């Protein structure tokens, strides 16, 4: 069975930005979301950490809002793409597991984001608890955490509904198939790419955690990270928490 890192290195990295459709639209969507969530740097600037930064769909808007961004991801190819796209923005890329992000910080930060479906890539709920504990330590007082992830808990598709067309064009077709288990979802990516006059199929799978948003909110509350927003935005669960004043 592949790990999430294996799956991205071998299957998804080459089509990750293509999956988003128009990259500029994706960047604007997150820029607007951060504005909506009142994520903005102080007059003196600040540090934002992007966990699971990918090719920069969160890091670039954060940098444009005035943050110095620490972008962490386990996929070197995506971080290279981020660096190419970031131009002269203040973004420092880190090639490592997101669980190790605090090792690269020299001071507390104003914002931590973990978006897309990155949280579900963790191997266990205990790994998520460890990550949230590290986030609490890393955040300055009144600092904010933004989490987004897909809802694999409230409904469980059956039959043909488990096949999800992701995107297609004249040379590439990506379809996703979901196989539900008690605690995880096995995600199969079926990637067809045209080579000459024939289509070549590559398949790969990995597991995602089935995260209950109520459980996530409970973990945040236990750490005295106050949940200030909990809703569905752009089809994803979006939770915003703030570190309480001492």
Domain containing residue 65: 4-151+211-243
The residue among 12, 23, 167, 173 whose CA lies nearest residue 77 is: 12
125 and 180, same domain (yes or no) = no
Alpha-carbon span 244 to 246, nearest angstrom: 6
109 and 229, same domain (yes or no) = yes
Residue 78 has pLDDT above 90, yes or no: yes
Grouping H, G, I as helix, E, B as strand and the rest as coil, residue 7 is helix
44 and 132, same domain (yes or no) = yes
Residue 106 has pLDDT above 60, yes or no: yes
35 and 69, same domain (yes or no) = yes
163 and 52, same domain (yes or no) = no
**Pairing mode, strands 139-149 and 236-243:** antiparallel
Count: domains in the chain: 2
Give the CA distances from residue 212 to residues 3, 82, 99, in Å, rounded to whole numbers and listed in that order.
Answer: 21, 30, 20
59 and 90, same domain (yes or no) = yes
CB 114 within 8 A of CB 127: no
Residue 41 has pLDDT above 80, yes or no: no
Alpha-carbon span 50 to 77, nearest angstrom: 16
**Pairing mode, strands 184-195 and 236-243:** unpaired
pLDDT value for 48 = 96
pTM for the whole structure: 0.94
Supply the CATH number for residue 50's domain.
3.40.50.150
22 and 93, same domain (yes or no) = yes
In the predicted model, what is the mean pLDDT of the chain? 94
Residue 70 has pLDDT above 90, yes or no: yes
Supply the CATH number for residue 163's domain.
2.20.25
Residue with tokens 């190790």: 100
pLDDT value for 83 = 95
Give the CA distances from residue 151 to residues 86, 120, 208, in Å, rounded to whole numbers and listed in that order.
Answer: 30, 10, 11
20 and 132, same domain (yes or no) = yes
90 and 18, same domain (yes or no) = yes
CA 160 from chain centre, in angstroms, equals 27
Q: Which distant-in-sequence residues (6+ apart) come within 8 Å of 138 by Cβ?
A: 49, 101, 102, 105, 108, 109, 112
């Amino acid at each position: 069975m592949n790990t999430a890192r294996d799956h991205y290195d071998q299957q998804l990295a080459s089509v990750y930005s293509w999956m988003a459709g128009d990259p500029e639209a994706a960047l604007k969507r997150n820029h607007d979301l951060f504005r909506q969530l009142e994520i903005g740097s102080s007059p003196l600037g600040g540090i934002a950490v992007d966990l699971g930064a990918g090719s920069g769909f969160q890091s670039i808007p954060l940098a444009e809002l005035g943050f110095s961004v620490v972008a962490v991801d386990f996929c070197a190819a995506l971080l290279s793409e981020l660096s190419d796209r970031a131009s002269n923005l203040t973004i420092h890329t880190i090639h490592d597991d997101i669980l190790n992000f605090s090792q690269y910080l020299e001071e507390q930060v104003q914002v931590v984001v973990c978006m897309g479906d990155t949280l579900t890539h963790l191997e266990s709920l205990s790994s998520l608890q460890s990550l949230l504990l590290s986030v609490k330590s890393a955040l300055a007082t009144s600092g904010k955490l933004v989490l987004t992830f897909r809802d694999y808990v409230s409904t469980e598709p059956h039959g043909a509904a488990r096949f999800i067309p992701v995107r297609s064009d004249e040379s590439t077709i990506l379809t996703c198939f979901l196989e539900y288990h008690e605690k995880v979802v096995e995600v199969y990516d079926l990637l067809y790419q045209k080579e000459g006059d024939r289509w070549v199929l590559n398949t790969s799978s990995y597991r995602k955690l089935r995260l209950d948003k109520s459980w996530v909110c409970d973990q945040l509350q236990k750490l005295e990270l106050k949940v200030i927003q909990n809703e569905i935005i752009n089809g994803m669960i979006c939770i915003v928490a703030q570190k309480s004043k001492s």
